[in-house]
Structure 1
Amino acid sequence: MSDNWTLRQLDVHNAFLNGHLSETVFMKQPPGYEDSAHLNHVCHLQRSRLKQAHREWFKRLHEFLITACFLASKTDVSLFHYTIGASRVFLLVYVDDSIMMGNDSALINTILLSQRRYMGDILAQAGMSDCKPLATPAVVTHPVTPLAQSFDNPTQYRQIVGALQYLTITRPDLSYAVNRLCQFMQAPIDDHWALLKQVLRYVKGTHDYGLRLSASSSSDIHAFLDSDWAGCPVDRKSTSGYAVFLGTNLISWLSRKQRTVARSLTEAEYKGLADVAAEVTWVVSLLRELGLHSGNPATLWCDNLGATYLVANPVFHARTKHVEIDFHFIHDKVA
């Protein structure tokens, strides 16, 4: 964005129908579409409408882009880039949606879409199109436990939470709340449905929000990290969250429960640092492959002194020697 490149979003209608089957597949006649004169007949599939549909669609798209002189990224299999003379185009594919960016607007002739309509669809699906808006997506101080009445429509809960996961692509402010709701997909209770409704009311009041990308005078990488400690009342695991900026633009973010229980706040923050360091390492590799890296080292920001001291000091005392070895690579990165 610092070079004022053109950015467009694309959507492929019925994308999975564009995938070709590489083998012969038969299926029973679907309910409601049986041929009464040939009830013993089966259907011969011509298109990949099965579990492998997304793979067949991406395979066909990949083959087409390669024939169109795009190069597939070695760092991210969903990224393709094209160069001719001084013109450059980048194409990022996400299932049936794509984002195209480049410095030659004549090469980028697409339709610009927004997730604002998608937000309206989610609210309509939940029957909350006319709900009262809220200013925050979650009550952080409210404990969520499975010891309550089971929700009578778990399928609806799963469908809406799944839809909210897709919405976090342009709404990082929903990441923490949606991550917490995803932890109860298997057996949601009434309390979880109440928390989900609060998120939807927040979406109702912020349907104009989105991810803003603007020209930036800097292409340096900065990452911010924070972690709670034993925040989950069920298993006492901590939750980490980070945000990675390229210049002034947010390019990567995450809110996720840690894999193991941390025995101190320092350990929880230190594990979070390891996660964001891994993400920054991947971002740097991608930018270097595309020839867009500034060459300056990335900066990681953490508000826990114990974690920053632990990163700088390789001597692990009794309170930190139990930390898993795979988290210690952050020290090598800093060194």
Structure 2
Amino acid sequence: MSLSLGYQTSQVPRKGEKLTCKLNKSTYRLKQASRQWFLKFTAALSSHGFHQSKSDYSLFTRGHGHDFVALLVYVDDILLTGPSPQIISSVKEVLKGHFKLKDLGYAKYFLGLELSRSQQGIMISQRKYCLQILEDTGFLEAKPVTTPMDPNLKLSKNEGEFLKADDITCYRRLICRLIYLQISQPDICFAIHRLSQFIHSPTKVQLNAAHHLLRYLKQSPGQGILISPITSFHLKAFVDVDWGSCPDTRRSITGFCIFLGAFIISWKSKKQATVSRSSAEAEYRALASVTSELMWISQLLKDLQVKILMPTTIFCDNQAVIVIASNPMFHERTKHIEIDYHFVQDKIAYGFLKVLPIQSSQQLADMFTKALLTSVLSKLVSKLGIIDIHHPT
């Protein structure tokens, strides 16, 4: 090993020699190992003309048009894509000059995500991961249900008998595994959000609700998102709120989903940070949340050289929120809302956003704010493009 900068010693090296250190322990598996690896990988790509994205530091791009290539890295797993197979091959050769690589061909399995190609598009699912969860929890032969959560169930932190230490560990492990599963299954997003609220001190009621979710997964473990070829790159979002629905904190639940063309690319179910005094205030805060997400996605798509049609459309079922967002007036209903939420008005005035009304029955984000009946849930799931290619027709 070379001596560290600033290291001083009384020993004088002979002519033509230099002092070195003996390596007693490798930095692999240490805290700084992944950071040092990423810095070395970034330096290697930068020396060959790649640019690191400011929206996602794990994304690197190079070139324009037919010569464009994008590289996504997670630790030592790499995805490489572009319109030219020759350019991709040349990038592989460049990487082989710096690192020892194993080329696995077309992406079929990446970080638990299964990628299936057909004439209709690319299907993203986590069937193997889901079946592994069901097998480990003993629900592989359970009787399936049609909803991820009972619509009549209102979870509270003081409802039910608290679990024992071993059961608490099992509950936490299960919820952590389910959180990763929602990457390809937006329909379970709200249920996982609610169950994760009680991860510190769960009760038998919450454990039974988690078992209910497992029985829902048993119905279609191969369910995922179909990404079809599109010609119109237009961003649109649906945003909704369940006002004061948390029985413990009386905070509202924000839910939104974002589409690029006809397929969903982002979704979220999250409890708001503060208590809202009205449904209009809660909806306005949710509108600010989805606006922030849209700004990040638009910058990411710009790095991928995807031209987004302006303005971005947001569908909201609250007329008061549409008026507040479009009319930058200071009045009684908005003076207590934090200033940082009012950047929505600036984005509308700039032309980045366009907020449109929608009927509550057509609000796709409704499934991210509350538990729904089977008839309503199945209709919304089909509109999100969620299918199960392994399910018998």
* TM-score grouping bracket, smaller chain normalisation: 0.7 to 0.9
Task: Tell me, yes or no, if structure 1 residue 48 matches structure 2 residue 59.
Answer: no
CA offset digits 1:92-136 (Å, max 9, x no partner): 344565554322346373440212111111112222121122211
Higher mean displacement: 165-174 or 224-233: 165-174
Residue from 270, 285, 294 that aligns with 2:284:
270
Counterpart residue number, 1:135: 146
Q: How does 1:41-80 map to 2 (within 5 A)?
A: 45-52=25-32, 54-67=34-47, 69-80=49-60
CA offset digits 1:283-311 (Å, max 9, x no partner): 12222333312342111111111111111
Distance 1:165 1:145, change over 3 A: same
What TM-score do the two structures reach when normalised by structure 1?
A: 0.80
Q: Which runs of 5+ in 1 are unaligned?
A: 1-22, 24-43
Residue type of the alignment partner of 2:172: R
Counterpart residue number, 1:92: 72
Residue from 228, 232, 239 that aligns with 2:242:
228
Aligned partners of 2:151, 2:37: CA distance in 1, in Å?
Answer: 40
Aligned partners of 2:65, 2:255: CA distance in 1, in Å?
Answer: 41
Task: Tell me, yes or no, if structure 1 residue 149 matches structure 2 residue 161.
Answer: yes
Q: Percent identity?
A: 39
Counterpart residue number, 2:212: 198
Aligned partners of 2:309, 2:265: CA distance in 1, in Å?
Answer: 18
Is the 8 Å Cα contact of residues 239 and 257 (structure 2) preserved in structure 1? yes
Is the 8 Å Cα contact of residues 70 and 304 (structure 2) preserved in structure 1? no
Is the 8 Å Cα contact of residues 48 and 56 (structure 1) preserved in structure 2? no
CA offset digits 1:123-173 (Å, max 9, x no partner): 122221211222111124311112121122111111111111111111122
Distance 1:79 1:309, change over 3 A: same
Distance 1:68 1:221, change over 3 A: same
Is the 8 Å Cα contact of residues 230 and 261 (structure 2) preserved in structure 1? yes
Higher mean displacement: 107-116 or 234-243: 107-116
Aligned partners of 2:146, 2:40: CA distance in 1, in Å?
Answer: 44
Aligned partners of 1:240, 1:98: CA distance in 2, in Å?
Answer: 33
Residue type of the alignment partner of 2:320: G
Aligned partners of 2:74, 2:238: CA distance in 1, in Å?
Answer: 25
Distance 1:156 1:72, change over 3 A: same
Task: Tell me, yes or no, if structure 1 residue 180 matches structure 2 residue 179.
Answer: no
Is the 8 Å Cα contact of residues 125 and 160 (structure 1) preserved in structure 2? no
Give RMSD over aligned pairs.
2.5
Q: How does 1:256-295 map to 2 (within 5 A)?
A: 256-295=270-309
Residue type of the alignment partner of 1:131: A
Residue type of the alignment partner of 2:247: P
Distance 1:249 1:61, change over 3 A: farther
Deviation, structure 1 residue 249:
2.0
SS in 1 for 2:282: helix
Is the 8 Å Cα contact of residues 269 and 304 (structure 1) preserved in structure 2? yes
Q: Which runs of 5+ in 2 are unaligned?
A: 5-23, 90-104, 115-125, 350-393
The number of residues matched between the two structures is 295
CA offset digits 1:76-106 (Å, max 9, x no partner): 1121223377232323344565554322346
What TM-score do the two structures reach when normalised by structure 2?
A: 0.69
